[in-house]
């Protein structure tokens, strides 16, 4: 049985709190739960107009942006009928990496400075799942239910077996150690995609690669560099048909897409939209809408880059993932807490 976690130290190590890498603060009032459709930067070819607001929200005009499209546009506002953002649990240090485990009906997420992966069985039970976790950040599951982790201090992608033993998958590119793998997504065919910014490196350690990369790991564990032109590659996600890869850059706010071939090899890149400052983890619903955590909340974009609106969260969010039996609950990790909100659509990841 899961046992409650009674207390967790609020003191975070400096090198891991740097995972935020932002200079802005969350201006949303504590307890705010409405969604607001504000002006957004639409992708090239989008109309740039503000989407209809969610429950209690308002709509506003948007600005045209740069870049291409990410696919056919969702015609239904994903924020229509949205519920109230609820705080599930607080008193963590820095939460990240939410991942729903369908076979167990539980949510796993990481507390990076606390060096733990935590298991949450709704509605209110929490227990330590893995400790130590090598300061794990992003989590993902493959089609067979295998759990994978981005290890900051381990500087690798690992697989956590059911008995909690850890197997290293990849830890270097061309003989040079990764910086600190951050976020991860896995295609049904076994292709792994992850981002590798420097947030988990000790202060003063420049790393071995000399750049911040977006990487692909093939089903036979061969590592390929997709791109090294982002300053802080961070959130990563797949479209519902798994033919489009989404990656954002925390430093610039750029959200880009890569077309994926049948074998998972990335092709054409398009700059879809510029989000609000400090984009981080992302989730995707079954209509292809992109839920992006930013400094102002969870921004929701249509596949073509049109901004539907923003889910306001009392603390600045770091990541989000869909879960629940019907996958209509959006779990949001936000600094020291875990939040949830019910949506009308159905989540994919």
Name residues whose C-beta falls within 8 Å of residue 47's C-beta, 6 or more positions apart in sequence.
Answer: 306
Residue 106 within a domain: yes
State the burial class of residue 100 (Cβ atoms within 10 Å of its Cβ: 0-12, 13-18, 19+).
buried
Q: What is the pLDDT of residues 251-295, one digit of tens each?
A: 999 999 999 999 999 999 999 999 999 999 999 999 999 999 999
117: containing domain: 93-291+321-342
Grouping H, G, I as helix, E, B as strand and the rest as coil, residue 50 is: coil
Residue 105 within a domain: yes
- What tokens appear for 269 in the block? 């890149």
In angstroms, the Cα distances linking 140 to 109, 137, 145 are: 10, 10, 9
CATH for 335:
2.120.10.30
Domain count, the chain: 1
Query: How many Å from the N-terminal Cα to the C-terminal Cα in the chain?
Result: 26
Give the global pTM.
Answer: 0.82
- In the block, tokens 């956590």 appear at 160
Which of the 8 DSSP states describes residue 15?
A: H
Residue 133 within a domain: yes
Q: What is the pLDDT of residues 21-76, one digit of tens each?
A: 543 333 333 333 344 443 333 333 333 333 333 333 333 333 333 334 454 556 79
Do residues 85 and 308 touch, judged by C-beta distance below 8 A?
no
């Amino acid at each position: 049985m899961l046992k409650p976690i009674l207390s967790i130290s609020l003191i975070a190590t400096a090198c891991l709190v740097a995972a935020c890498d932002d200079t802005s603060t969350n201006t949303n009032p504590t307890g705010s739960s409405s969604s607001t459709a504000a002006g957004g930067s639409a992708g090239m070819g989008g109309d740039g107009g503000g989407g209809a607001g969610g429950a209690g929200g308002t709509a506003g005009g948007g600005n045209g942006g740069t870049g291409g499209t990410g696919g056919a546009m969702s015609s239904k506002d994903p924020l229509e009928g949205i519920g109230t953002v609820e705080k599930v649990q607080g008193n963590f240090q820095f939460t990240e990496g939410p991942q729903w485990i369908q076979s167990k009906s539980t949510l796993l997420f990481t507390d990076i400075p606390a060096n733990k992966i935590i298991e949450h069985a709704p509605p209110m039970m929490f227990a330590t799942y893995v400790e130590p976790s090598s300061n794990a950040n992003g989590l993902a599951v493959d089609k067979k239910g295998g759990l994978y982790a981005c290890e900051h201090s381990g500087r690798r992608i690992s697989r956590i077996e059911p008995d909690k033993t850890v197997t290293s998958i990849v830890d270097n590119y061309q003989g040079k150690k990764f910086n600190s793998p951050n976020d991860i997504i896995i295609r049904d065919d076994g292709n792994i995609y992850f981002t590798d910014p420097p947030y988990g490196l000790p202060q003063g350690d420049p790393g071995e690669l000399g750049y911040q990369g977006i990487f692909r790991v093939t089903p036979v564990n061969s590592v390929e560099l997709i791109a090294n032109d982002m300053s802080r590659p961070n959130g990563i996600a797949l479209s519902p048909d798994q033919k489009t890869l989404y990656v954002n850059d925390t430093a610039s706010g750029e959200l880009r897409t890569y077309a994926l071939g049948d074998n998972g090899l990335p092709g054409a890149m398009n700059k879809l939209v510029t989000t609000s400052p400090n984009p981080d983890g992302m989730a995707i619903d079954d209509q292809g809408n992109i839920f992006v955590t930013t400094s102002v909340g969870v921004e929701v974009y249509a596949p073509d880059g049109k901004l539907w609106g923003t889910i306001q969260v009392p603390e600045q969010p770091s990541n989000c993932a869909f879960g629940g039996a019907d996958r209509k609950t959006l779990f949001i990790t936000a600094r020291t807490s875990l939040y949830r909100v019910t949506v009308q659509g159905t989540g994919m990841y």
